[in-house]
């Protein structure tokens, strides 16, 4: 089904054309077009305040009408931050301000996700809005705004008693986890000031806020989390990889330095495959990290994983000549160690065609 002339005029903001068409008796002002979008939905989608007002003045226009994805005019206006359109819609007595689309995502969730503070404020001013509603993925307004680093929105939501600041989504990711993941230091600070937020709570695959922050090199967030006594700086995920291991793989030198400065971090801790931070850093070619780790007296540079591969053989297999050079410069590195299949570092280099 194609769009009607009224729908086109509403979409592109031609107020006079809309007015002319609405004066005709043979015009259906609520007729859906492509993807089930009515003229009102298109007007709201594109922020056409005057046209929204004209259409809402008709008794035969449904202000809560949905398109094929279940999205209403209010959902689009809130999502794109059209404050004046949102206000016009919320002024209707028959509007449902908490009506979700087919993924159970409400206007408030979408406005919070995009950081539209004024829209969030208007929606939170309604008594018929649940500020802690979650969608099919378990996303809440707080979780979405925390992930986006929208400090103002987070602050508004945290003032509401109905909002659980530690509520996880379907994957176990709390607002703090999400803020740590994206490096949103301002949001992390606000959440850490709450007594009802667990700063060490892992998601469903065992990754804590610290581990995610270390993984992505969010130095300020790592620092804040390490200042908390409840946070275990050596807590591994379900694969056995620690924050140090993830920081090493991603070559985040400041985070590696912070973690190595802790007495409660084991720099030689293997994961479920027996691979240490040194092994993983060597296989990724992170020469500076390898050098930092080798300065430690408690690092075993020959420690094999459960398949018998050493850091040297991992570096050789991927052709990381600089790391190989550093490891061969150690007197305590055996260049002829064999894995469980009898392969040495030289075997791996030859097999991979790593001439250097």
- CA-based angle 45:51:56, to the nearest 5? 95
Q: Where are the domains of the chain?
A: 267-356
Tokens of 200: 């060490």
Q: Nearest 5°: phi and psi at 9?
A: -65, -40
Q: Which CATH class is domain 267-356?
A: mainly alpha
Percent of the chain exceeding pLDDT 90 equals 97
Q: What pLDDT does 3 receive?
A: 86
Whether 2 shows a pLDDT value over 90: the answer reads: no
Q: What pLDDT does 1 receive?
A: 61
- The residue behind tokens 């709450």 is 194
User: Considering Cα of 101, then 107, then 111, then 116, what sign does the dihedral take?
Assistant: positive
Check: CB of residue 181 under 8 Å from CB of residue 146. Answer: no
Whether 102 shows a pLDDT value over 90: the answer reads: no
Torsion angle of alpha carbons 106, 112, 117, 123, nearest 10°?
Answer: 20
* pLDDT mean over 250-255: 96
């Amino acid at each position: 089904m194609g769009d009607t002339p009224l729908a086109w005029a509403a979409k592109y903001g031609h107020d006079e054309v809309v007015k002319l068409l609405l004066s005709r008796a043979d015009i259906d002002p609520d007729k859906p077009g492509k993807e089930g979008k009515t003229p009102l939905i298109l007007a709201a989608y594109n922020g056409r305040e005057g046209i929204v007002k004209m259409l809402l003045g008709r008794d035969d226009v449904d202000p809560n009408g949905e398109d094929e994805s279940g999205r209403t005019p209010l959902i689009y206006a809130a999502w794109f931050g059209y404050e004046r359109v949102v206000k016009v819609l919320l002024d209707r007595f028959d509007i449902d301000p908490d009506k979700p689309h087919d993924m159970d995502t409400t206007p408030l969730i979408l406005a919070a996700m995009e950081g539209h503070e004024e829209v969030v404020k208007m929606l939170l001013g309604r008594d018929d809005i649940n500020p802690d509603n979650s969608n099919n993925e378990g996303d809440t307004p707080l979780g979405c705004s925390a992930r986006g680093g929208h400090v103002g929105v987070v602050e508004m939501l945290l003032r509401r008693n109905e909002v659980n600041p530690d509520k996880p989504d379907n994957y176990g990711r709390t607002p703090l986890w999400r803020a740590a993941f994206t490096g949103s230091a301002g949001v992390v600070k606000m959440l850490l000031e709450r007594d009802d937020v667990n700063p060490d709570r892992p998601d469903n695959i065992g990754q804590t806020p610290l581990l995610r922050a270390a993984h992505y090199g969010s130095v300020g967030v790592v620092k804040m989390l390490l200042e908390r006594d409840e946070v275990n700086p050596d807590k591994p995920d379900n694969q056995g990889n620690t924050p140090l291991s993830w920081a090493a793989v991603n070559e985040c030198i400041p985070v590696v330095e912070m973690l190595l400065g802790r007495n409660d971090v084991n720099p030689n801790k293997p994961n479920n495959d027996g691979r240490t931070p040194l092994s993983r850093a060597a296989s990724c070619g992170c020469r500076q990290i390898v050098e930092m780790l080798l300065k430690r007296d408690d690092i075993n540079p020959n420690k094999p994983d459960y398949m018998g591969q050493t850091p040297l053989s991992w570096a050789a297999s991927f052709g990381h000549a600089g790391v190989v050079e550093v490891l061969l410069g150690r007197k305590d590195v055996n260049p002829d160690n064999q894995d469980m299949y009898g392969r040495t570092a030289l075997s791996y280099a030859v097999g991979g065609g790593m001439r250097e």
